[in-house]
Amino acid sequence: MDDSSVEHRLDLNYIWKTRQSELANNSGYRGQVATTSGNNTLASISEFTRESSVEKSAMAQQRLNANYKSAV
């Protein structure tokens, strides 16, 4: 594994943790601020993480439900 893929994973991990923090604070609209400043790349990343976090939350909930049912 080369260094660039490690850095990419670290970046995604940072974005994911930041997004979870935004969700916890109920303030997940930073991408709109970036768009108004002309930074469309950051807005795209923010929108992507917002969508993927919903999908990941749904998958995590399904796993929790499955684990609960198997434990009961």
32 pLDDT tier (thresholds 50, 70, 90): very low
What pLDDT score does 33 carry? 47
What pLDDT score does 66 carry? 82
Which is higher by pLDDT, 37 or 4?
Answer: 4
Tokens describing residue 31: 């991408």
Q: Where are the domains of the chain?
A: 25-71
Look at residue 40 and tell me whether its pLDDT is greater than 50.
yes
The Cα 56–Cα 49 span in angstroms is 10
Which is higher by pLDDT, 30 or 45?
Answer: 45
Q: Residues 22, 30: contact at Cβ < 8 Å?
A: yes
pTM as predicted: 0.27
What pLDDT score does 65 carry? 82
